[in-house]
Amino acid sequence: MKTIYSAPRGTNDILPEDYKIWQYIIDIAIENSEKFGFFRMQTPTFENIELFKRSVGDGTDIVQKEMFSFKDSKGRHLALRPEGTAAIVRATIQHGLLNSSLPLKIFYIMNFFRNERPQTGRYKEFYQFGVELFGAYSAIAEFEIISLAYSFLNELNVKDTNLNINSIGCQDCRKNYVYSLTKYFEKYKEKICENCKNRLYNNPLRLLDCKEKQCEEFKLNAPNILNYVCADCKTHFNTLCNFLNLNNIPYSVNPYIVRGLDYYTKTVFEFVTNNLGAQNAICGGGRYDDLIQKLGAPSTPAVGFGVGLNRLILLLKNKIKINYKIPHIYVGATDEEALYKASVIATNLRARNIITQTDLMSRSVKSQMKYANRIKAMFSCIIGKNELTKNSVNVKSMSGEENFNISIQNFAEEFERILKN
């Protein structure tokens, strides 16, 4: 019986007090994306499961273990979206957005679903702010989105973040690397963790990504991908470094950053923080030049990133001072007739964008004043029989310093004039 009244394990309610912080962060995400010329879009919560198998990759943990999938009554196999890129790419192809003038710059703020073991800041339903930039082969595209993420995190004043970048090569040069990596780890097959044993043949790059202690020492001496990438990939990587250097965006080259998805080519990057324990990546992304062709459209280069908003909220929760929108005025009433008048005044005030609250509880005057204090109203007034007869009402500032007599007839207009002075 009890379980009906609690949210499913691994999910998270966002209560009004927390939502102010969400709103604040979302506003900054929107503002920064628009500053870089990105436009927002949204896709459905579920897609055909095949989309994620083809794009994220059959061998990935996401597709093998973490997706919420189901069949509808017609037997169609669907899945709740586990990440953003696949769905955004599907939509841009379906609606022909890649046929118009490039680059196409998209951002999204959406919820995603993965059936993972819940941890601090990690939920089965989680939110990401992400961007995708289509059409640019040059490393300035990576620079542009890294610069956007950097600007976003800076504006939020997220401290102690480091940008880690790496190249995982292209289809050509990665083959050699994966071969060497597999050969290397085969020697330690009996000593690596169970997950890594599977990765060895399903998704060998992810061997570098393992957080288990027992695998740590083998990672240290593993072949370094940057020694394997082809001339084209190397130049691309160096160009990105030049852009970052020139624009004073600090970074470290980290050959262990691989990202867990099949579609990345060349650049991958993460913004990591030391403040969240093991779950340290707050933003991750990279280049995925082959994905669009793989999904059946003409080959188009692309880059993108995703920022986990739940973790960001955890980091910032007690550090952000929000200027709450406080109600400008509380308009109380002593009886039903006065309340009718108060409702008209409230309607007129709100039409002038003045935040107004009125008595919804038929409370005593004393309780109404208590309430006006609790909601931090700037001004208050109480309309009663006397006020209706005189056709005017006394408006006080809650600090007690100011006092105005305002006509009930022209209340909104006169009050607005006072607010402006």
Interface residues with Zn ion (CB under 5 A) are 169-170, 173, 193, 196, 210, 212, 215, 230, 233
Handedness of CA 79, 124, 288, 302 (dihedral sign): positive
CB-based contacts of 250: which residues, under 8 Å, 6+ apart?
Answer: 162, 163, 244
Report the residue number, 14 or 253, with the smaller CB distance to Zn ion.
Answer: 253
Least Å distance, CB 150 to Zn ion, is 26
Torsion over CA of 110, 157, 273 and 114, rounded to 10 degrees?
-10
Report the residue number, 173 or 406, with the smaller CB distance to Zn ion.
Answer: 173
Place of tokens 């190249």: 167
Least Å distance, CB 275 to Zn ion, is 24
- Among residues 42, 94, 87, 51, the alpha carbon closest in space to that of 69 is found at 51
Report the residue number, 217 or 413, with the smaller CB distance to Zn ion.
Answer: 217
Task: Report the C-alpha gap between 335 and 216 in whole angstroms.
Answer: 73
Report the residue number, 63 or 215, with the smaller CB distance to Zn ion.
Answer: 215
Residue 361 tokens, joined? 């509880």
Task: Report the C-alpha gap between 158 and 313 in whole angstroms.
Answer: 10
Least Å distance, CB 225 to Zn ion, is 10
Least Å distance, CB 217 to Zn ion, is 11
Report the residue number, 173 or 346, with the smaller CB distance to Zn ion.
Answer: 173
Report the residue number, 206 or 311, with the smaller CB distance to Zn ion.
Answer: 206
Instruction: Compute CA distances 138 → 174, 325, 385, whole Å.
Output: 19, 44, 74
Least Å distance, CB 192 to Zn ion, is 5
Task: Report the C-alpha gap between 269 and 244 in whole angstroms.
Answer: 13
Least Å distance, CB 298 to Zn ion, is 21
Least Å distance, CB 157 to Zn ion, is 35
Least Å distance, CB 171 to Zn ion, is 8
- Edge-to-edge strand order for the sheet containing 161-167? 39-40, 104-113, 125-134, 302-308, 281-287, 265-273, 161-167, 252-253
Report the residue number, 173 or 244, with the smaller CB distance to Zn ion.
Answer: 173
Report the residue number, 197 or 328, with the smaller CB distance to Zn ion.
Answer: 197
Least Å distance, CB 89 to Zn ion, is 22
Catalogue the long-range contacts made by 89-97 (C-beta closer than 8 Å, 24 or more residues apart). 89/55, 89/132, 89/291, 89/292, 89/295, 89/302, 90/43, 90/47, 90/51, 90/295, 91/41, 91/43, 92/132, 92/134, 93/292, 93/295, 93/296, 93/297, 97/134
Report the residue number, 170 or 377, with the smaller CB distance to Zn ion.
Answer: 170
- Among residues 310, 315, 306, the alpha carbon closest in space to that of 275 is found at 315
Which three-class secondary structure state does DSSP give residue 75?
A: coil
Q: How many CB atoms lie within 10 A of CB 22?
A: 16
